Amino acid sequence: MAWQIEPINGCALVRMNTSKVNVQNAQFFGDLHAAFDRLERDFKELPVVLTGQGNAFSAGIDFQASFDIFGSGEPDRIKEWYRAYRETNLRIFAYPRPTVAAVNGHAIAGGLITALVCDFRVAARTPARFGLNEVPIGIPMPAAYVEIIKYALGERVAALTTLRGQLYDLEQAQALGFFHEVVQPDQLIATAIDYARCITPDCNVAYAMSKKALQDGVMRQIHERTVALDAQLPAGMSDPGNRRAQDQRRQEIMHKR
């Protein structure tokens, strides 16, 4: 099902609905690109608010699908997965209009990165978990994402959250600076729209140029470091220890079903 896009109060409200908890796989990537194709075609003057459904913004990568790729021992296949994943995040990160993540619930690993690539983040005051738990489950963090995390959270918090891989509750996540504001659930969308409407349409070009200038160093780092560092990802995925950690995580997921 294509993501729903609703123009509301001068914004384009995008509801991610690839799956119940928006696990990130080829279908999710396709839905994201289709949504942004439509935004650029039909709503190109509007700021964007991105939200999930139920109790999850996004639960992150689809472990079943991705672990099969990571464990394939096929470097080109692993590189292609990362290329596709990187392009989805950069599609949001570099979007020339204001982007706001209206975080309605859990945002874990890749799901949190999807929130971090937005210009602003507003979270609902609801029981949920947030964090970047890739490293403890045997997934090397790509250089491109590290640069985005540092841009959004600062180097100190980026190092803490990336390397420890801890999941945080709402209060802890807010203290670390994950969100610009936390509000009651019934105020989430309205507050996110307020953030998105930080400028009038007359100032769209000023916003786009300023955003590009702010992100210039990050984008340069991504394009320069991705070639060198991310080329090592397939070998990292094949490391026996990482494979054992991934298999353990897969078993935990299957046991919960």
Per-residue confidence (pLDDT) for residue 107, from 0 to 100? 98
Average pLDDT rounded to a whole number, residues 181-192: 98
Which whole number is the average pLDDT over 26-53? 97
Predicted local distance difference test score (pLDDT) of residue 205: 98
- Per-residue pLDDT for 238 more than 80? no
Q: Are 21 and 61 in contact (CB under 8 A)?
A: no
- Directed axis angle between helix 143-153 and helix 204-229, to 10°? 140
Q: pLDDT value at position 256?
A: 61
pLDDT at 154 over 80: yes
Is residue 255 very low, low, confident or very high in pLDDT (cuts 50, 70, 90)?
low
21 pLDDT band, cuts 50/70/90, is: very high
Among 5-9, 62-66, 122-126, 205-209, whose mean pLDDT is lowest?
Answer: 62-66
Q: What are the chain's domains?
A: 4-196 (3.90.226.10)
> Given 40, 80, 87, 134, which residue is catalytic?
134
134 included as an active-site residue: yes
Q: Provide the percentage of residues in the chain whose pLDDT is more than 70.
A: 97
Residue 6: pLDDT band with limits 50, 70, 90: very high
113 or 254: whose pLDDT is higher? 113
What pLDDT shows up at residue 254? 56
Q: Tell me what the mean pLDDT of segment 59-75 comes to.
A: 82
> What's the chain's Rg over C-alpha atoms?
18
Question: What is the spatial distance between Cα 220 and Cα 229, in angstroms, rounded to a whole number?
Answer: 14
Say which residues have a Cβ less than 8 Å from residue 220's Cβ, sequence separation at least 6: none
Residue 13 pLDDT > 80, yes or no? yes
* pLDDT, the chain, mean: 92
Output the CA torsion 251→253→254→257 (10° steps): 160
